[in-house]
A and B are shown apart, each in its own frame.
Chain A
Amino acid sequence: MTVLLEMKDIHKVYPNGTKANQGVDLTVHEGEIHALVGENGAGKSTLMKILFGLETPTSGEIRYKGQPVTFQGPRDAIKQGIGMVHQHFMLVPSLTVSENILLGDELRKGFFSLFRDRKRELTEVDQLIQRYTLKVDPQAKVEMISVGQKQRVEILKVLYRGARLIILDEPTAVLTPQETDELFHSMKELVKENYTVIFITHKLREVMEISDRATILRAGKTIETVQTKNSSQEEISKLMVGRNVLFRVEKEEAKPKEPVLKVNHLTVPDDKGLEAIRNVSFQIRAGEIFGFAGVEGNGQTELIEAITGLRKIKSGQIEYLGQDLTEKTVAQIRAMKIGHIPEDRQTTGACLTSTISENLILDCCRAKEYRRGPFLEQKKIKGFSQQMIKDFDIRVQNEDALAGSLSGGNLQKVIIARELSKNPKLLIASQPTRGVDIGAIEFIHREIIKKRDEGTAVLLVSAELSEVINLSDRIGVLYNGEIVAILDNSTPLSEEEIGSYMLGIKRQEQEAVAE
């Protein structure tokens, strides 16, 4: 095995003071699939951005093919044969697949190379597709193809530019289980041809399945590099978190009672006025967790915004404990004991430039007991904040620290503390553990289940299918704005089963969906 890439003692401090890398070492061999694992915020993405020339390291050394290199920008990295597929696709939707692949490197012909050689372009792209079995129609417009295919276009783009080392940044985050399998197949094909792949993930099952070796990062430092076949999920997760982790969520059987939320024939427009949610009906009862599965962008966001009053609906009813929610303001809905953990905690769920305390009092600043005359009761607010920090194990110096200084998990705990402290009858949790470390995930799951056992109706939306399966008592699958199935999950379903509904391949009978 020849060493292809060595990164030594990499440090990176961002201008806002975040220390993303504090001495990371990474050695990658030629022709291997190397998994880069760690919790969110462990510094994986930063390290790869440094490798791809998108960030300059504060200190450290990079050796590629034995030579020390410094990259001023992605162009330098591409020249050396390094390519990166970003988590968020960078494609032009209105152009075709082959135009996207060739963008900036079009083939020319004729007088002074003034004309594009479309014929040769198509054959080259075709060859590329055949060779690596990355199935996609080169003439299709990118806006028309699926997420999995878009990812293949990204990989083809990288291959076309002659990359020998391919970085995949959390490629499976947006994929269904079936699409993930196909991606893994392509990765294996590439490695056979002596390509090298660095694969960023925090899903351990994938690490075990696909990688040859794995480097584990924690808190911006390299913890260890292991041979995957000599290791286990348990060992890697322990290295990632620094302690033993429970994989299964322990919960008792649900004892659902009366319906809390009834949604009838709801249609909700998206920002462009198109129907993001079409004629959706479901009920959630007190004491049960109703989970929504579905590939992101199938109407989950709009559904939740409609229920919480953040988005105007087009038609239908939303009934909460006998009251119609559709005409209520956000403030009225929040005052009705409805808790909402929003999907984007950085921009919606919290105010990063404010203190923890200010983030916690969003609702109670309106309550009478926190006010005296025109003033807020500073002492009570302080007491409340300190209580929350203690109860929810928020790791912070004091309540006056800025929310922006917290890690993802701790920030999410602030939001959860705020939303659960009002003892909600209905809790809407959207991506409650996205980008949160494993320890905090356990904690958040326990809190949600505790609320369920106390009789709260819980609506859960998560892009993490395993989370939906682990927590939910019933599962609704959203596809293209419609509920295509409502499944009983009292004995956990398999990911594949739900996956086929998520892709729109399978569909329940309408009567079953309508209950």
Chain B
Amino acid sequence: MNTRKTLTLELTGIIGAALVAILLGIIIIYIVSEEPLTAIQSLLLGPISSAFNIGTVLNKAVPLIFTGLALAIVFQAGVFSMGAEGQLYMGAFVGALAALYIPGLPVWVHLPIIFLAAICAGAIFGAIPGFLKAYLNTDEIVTTLMLNFIAILSTSYFVNNIFKDPASGGYARMQYIASDLRLGRIVEGFTAHYGIIIALATVIVIYLLLYKTKFGYELRMVGQNSRFAHYGGISTKKIIILSVVISGGLAALAGIIEILGVHGTFKDYFSINLGFDGIIIALLARNHPFGVAVAALFYAYLQVGAQLMQGASDVPRELAVIIQVILVLLVSSQAIFTFLRQKYLLRQGR
């Protein structure tokens, strides 16, 4: 069986799973709702009913694309990092500090410095579990989960104490970042900010990196068969560390763009599990960058739809969570795909 057939089969499987999940969601709506048609309509069509809503979908997709890419790249290297959430906070935190506390720079110098600071913070924080895994064979799932607490709680401490904006009152947040440093709207009157353009450009860069360069080739070989990589002279340690460093940088981008594009400042607990949603996005995308873009948009669409549904009907937005969970269950059931493949081959064989 060649790769194209495998790809077609996988795609049919994933799209099928998405349809089944939505169908089950609709059935649940019919069970719980007094006004199922209104609920379904706002869930499925709401997100594209106005330019404002479309813009919201795009904005919601931006951080998901970055965290999805961050996890796709480590997963492809065979490293099961769960650390995107922590790296996202570190990146956002350091980036926000760079935005607030480096004075007197022109915007076109200042903005790249902010991004660079954020990426470095995420990358360095991401490198820690990488070194631990490469040299001490420490389980990266445990270390990254623990490091998440360190990142989230320590940034929380700082934003509640040292860097807290005195004018913020009951809110734990930093001062607002100067508006010329924030990511503006692409078109006036349309909600989407420049983040989506940066995100889609990053998708292409990561695609090229993974599939068209020597580094990407080596990274994928390490992930797919580390013994083969070792036999072939690929330095698996180097690849593991670089993969978590790049991943940390991408997660940090998710954080800083969320700050500059949406919140305008670093807020306590501003990311509601964006780093963990990235795991699901990467899973749905089968770790492919283009898939990440599609999956993130789908995910954002579902969230916006659920929000609108809650406003328009008696169905709570948590329904979106149910649909997401069903989808994850279906997609992660590798068995279904192998079953389909077997049926397919059987039919060919007879």
Contact = CB atoms under 8 A, between A and B. Distances in A.
A330 B231 contact: yes
A342 interface: yes
A478 interface: no
Nearest to B218: A365
Contacts of B225: 347, 350-354
B3 A22 contact: no
Contact of A361 (B208, B217, B344, B345): B217
- Among B225, B228, B339, B346, find the residue whose CB has the most chain A CB atoms closer than 10 A: B228
Interface string B217-233: 11011001101111111
Contacts of A375: 208, 212-213
B147 to A, nearest CB: 30
Nearest to B3: A400
Nearest to A335: B233
B227 A15 contact: no
A335 B225 CA distance: 21
Contact of A371 (B214, B224, B346): B214
28 contacts: A13-B346, A13-B349, A14-B342, A16-B338, A16-B342, A17-B338, A17-B342, A19-B349, A333-B233, A334-B232, A334-B233, A347-B227, A349-B228, A350-B225, A350-B228, A351-B228, A353-B224, A362-B221, A362-B228, A363-B233, A371-B214, A374-B213, A376-B212, A376-B217, A378-B212, A397-B2, A400-B2, A401-B3
Interface residues of B, number: 33
B1 interface: yes
Contacts of A407: none
Contacts of B228: 347-351, 362
Interface residues of A, number: 45
B349 A22 contact: yes
A400 B345 CA distance: 19
**Which 3 residue pairs of A and B lie closest in terms of their CB atoms, listed nearest first?**
A331-B233, A330-B233, A362-B232
Contacts of B262: none
A15 B230 CA distance: 29
Contacts of A342: 231
A358 B3 contact: no
Nearest to A340: B231
A201 to B, nearest CB: 27
Interface centre among B214, B227, B231, B338 (most CB of A within 10 A): B231
A315 interface: no
Contacts of A340: 231
Contact of B1 (A15, A17, A378): A17
A3 interface: no
Contacts of A331: 233-235
Nearest to B222: A351
B134 to A, nearest CB: 15
A333 B345 CA distance: 42
A233 interface: no
B341 interface: yes
Given A349-B228, A354-B220, A402 B3 contact: yes
A467 to B, nearest CB: 22
Nearest to B229: A351
A375 B216 CA distance: 10
A351 B345 CA distance: 22
A170 B345 CA distance: 29
Contacts of A19: 345, 349
